[in-house]
């Protein structure tokens, strides 16, 4: 397993639309393992392949306290949304920024696991929020793009300043 580099907003590669996975092979298993290790190391609860500059429809997620309940979503599609909620979200690609985003309260998602087994999952609460957030990444959208232009520009400025300070 290897740690992968997480792209940082406003990197344009975060806007690349991910392509479906066509083969469930050792490459996908390795990608899932590397993404999980990267997510755990970064203390995240979800990671989309787009965030590590791999433009395939792969998401890993673990909302458990013990960090031992990895969920894998390959070629995920939300087939049903219901209700409305707001939640303060953060993102490994937008470090240190937390903003309230409006999302569906409940979702149904169809996807495949890393072995090519299809499943359907009904989710609510944090799991529903996380699914919507990560699937946005696969569509080339970052959560801050739900915010006003003014807030987006402030976030970009703050992140660019941080990047300069690290150099």
User: Does the annotation mark 99 as catalytic?
Assistant: no
Helix (H, G, I), strand (E, B) or coil at 28: helix
Number of C-beta neighbours around residue 125 at 10 A: 12
CA atoms of 71 and 62, how far apart (whole Å): 6
H or E, element range at 83: none
Of 122, 134, 145, 165, which one is the catalytic site residue? 134
| Structure tokens given for 109 | 């998602």
Return all residues near 46 (Cβ < 8 A) that are at least 6 apart.
39, 59, 60, 61, 62, 130, 133, 134
Residues that are catalytic: 134
């Amino acid at each position: 397993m290897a740690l992968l580099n997480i792209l940082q907003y406003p990197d344009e590669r975060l806007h690349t639309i991910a392509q479906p996975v066509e083969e469930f092979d050792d490459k996908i298993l390795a990608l899932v393992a590397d993404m999980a290790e990267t997510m755990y190391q970064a203390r995240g609860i979800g990671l989309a392949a787009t965030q590590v500059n791999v433009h395939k429809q792969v998401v890993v997620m673990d909302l458990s306290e013990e960090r031992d309940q990895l969920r894998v979503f390959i070629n995920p599609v939300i087939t049903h949304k219901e209700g409305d909620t707001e939640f303060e979200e953060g993102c490994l690609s937008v470090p240190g920024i937390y903003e309230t985003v409006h999302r569906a309260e409940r979702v149904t998602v169809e996807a495949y696991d890393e072995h090519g087994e299809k499943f359907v999952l009904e989710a609510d609460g944090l799991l529903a929020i996380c699914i919507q957030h990560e699937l946005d990444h696969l569509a080339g959208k970052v959560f801050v793009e739900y915010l006003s232009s003014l807030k987006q520009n402030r976030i970009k400025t703050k992140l660019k300043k941080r990047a300069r300070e690290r150099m």
